Amino acid sequence: MSINPEKAISYILTKSVSAYMDKDVLLLNQNTLTRDAARMLQHYEADDIVVTDEKRDPIGIVTDEDILRKVSDVTVYAEATSLKDVMSTPLIVINEKATLQDALHKMRDNSIRKLPVINKKNQVIGIIFQGTIANAIRDATATPPRLLSPPIKAILGNLGIVLQFAGVLLLVPALVAKVLAETDIATGIYLNTVLLLVIGFFLNSYGEKASLNLQQASVLVFSSLFLLTLFGTAPYLYISTPDLSTGEAFSNAFFSSAAGFTTGGISLFDEPENLPQSFTFYRSFTQLVGGMSFIYLVITAFYPESKLQSMRGFISGRTLHMRELFGTITIIFTLYIVIVALLLWVFG
């Protein structure tokens, strides 16, 4: 059992209804005959029908019990009965961004046990049931106590995704070093890649892929850049510096790695033109994928729009179409790479 049931319940109730709703919703026009509706309920193994008008806006709800009650009424000609004759109206709905706490309050105030979930276009995208919320609360309180609280698990889960994505990207300079037969540099980059993938896997397995508030997002940014910098020191340590002690070599490597991943671009090498080509490529590559833009692209690539909107204060400060913005930034990055590469090739 959870060591702090009240805290576990409070955390679950802050979750979005979209994370727990049933997405299989049967939508039928108000003029649909009840006999056809009953056939559809049986075919899709559903219990509820959300009734829509001619504009497909939700206007009511019908359950299988409503249909049976109407059909069993001897004063009603069942063959001519349509959904608008048996539906419950006005329809009580809830927005997809609302919390489970909001859903429970609305259910209690209206004495109902289910709520259709709508998006900003007033389209029904699911149904949240009182029983589903009760099961979520029960599971949260019955879960064995863990070392870390759910907010920290959310940070760890997101951090794992960032590290894994970085590990995959850094395979590019590793392959370049392999092709150029610069074994020492390739070893350092492969070591960096393996560390990122392994640590990211464990963090992602133990953590939780959940939306973040501004405080959690700030911790994510700092942790991501710190770990990327720390693991990114490995290739620098493979550059021969016989005149430096171990401590000095590590501090210089950490500083240079930080300059890359934070896009500072500062170099401690007196003669960078004498460095191995693959190492020069690695330094440039870390500056390309580093900074806030890297974390931004990872988050927008792996999260659904609904969760991105809840994190808009961290990402942009206002509501945007995140998928479109992700594509735009990716195109801009690609154009920059092509233009700069062409200029370097032309002018040497």
Find, among 278, 285, 315, 320, the residue nearest to 299 by Cα: 315
CB proximity list for 322: less than 8 A, separation 6 or greater: 300, 303, 305, 308, 309, 315
Cα separation, 88 vs 30, whole angstroms: 11
The helix (H) or strand (E) run that includes residue 118 is strand 114-118
Q: How far apart are CA 165 and CA 158, in angstroms?
A: 11
- Residue whose tokens read 């039928």: 28
Query: Which residues contact residue 65 at a Cβ distance below 8 angstroms, ignoring those fewer than 6 apart?
Result: none
DSSP labels, 23-60: ---EEEETTSBHHHHHHHHHHHT-SEEEEE-TT--EEE
Q: Which two tokens mark 346?
A: 């032309």
94: β partners:
117
Q: Which residues contact 270 (CB under 8 A, 6 or more apart)?
A: none
Count of CA atoms in the C-beta half-sphere (13 A) of 251: 5
Q: What is the pLDDT of residue 50?
A: 92
Closest listed residue to residue 188, CA positions, set 204, 207, 174: 174
Residue whose structure tokens are 């006005």: 90
**What pLDDT is recorded for position 318?**
45
CA-CA distances (angstroms) from residue 167 to 40, 172, 255, 284, 344? Answer: 49, 10, 20, 16, 27
**Tens digits of pLDDT across the chain (348 residues):** 445 677 777 778 888 898 889 988 899 999 988 888 888 888 888 888 999 998 888 999 988 787 777 655 545 555 678 888 888 888 999 999 889 999 999 999 999 999 999 998 889 999 999 999 998 888 877 755 555 566 788 888 888 888 898 888 889 999 999 899 888 888 989 999 999 999 999 988 887 776 666 677 778 878 888 898 899 898 888 886 767 788 888 888 888 888 888 777 677 777 777 888 888 888 888 887 776 556 665 555 555 555 555 544 444 444 445 556 666 667 777 787 788 788 878 886
Q: Where are the beta strands (DSSP E) in 134-279?
A: none
Max intra-chain CA distance, the chain: 100
Q: How long a stretch of residues is the chain?
A: 348
Q: What confidence score (pLDDT) does residue 300 get?
A: 57
pTM: 0.56
- Show the domains of the chain with their CATH numbers: 5-141 (3.10.580.10), 150-347 (no CATH)
Can you give the pLDDT at residue 74?
A: 47
Res 313: pLDDT: 46
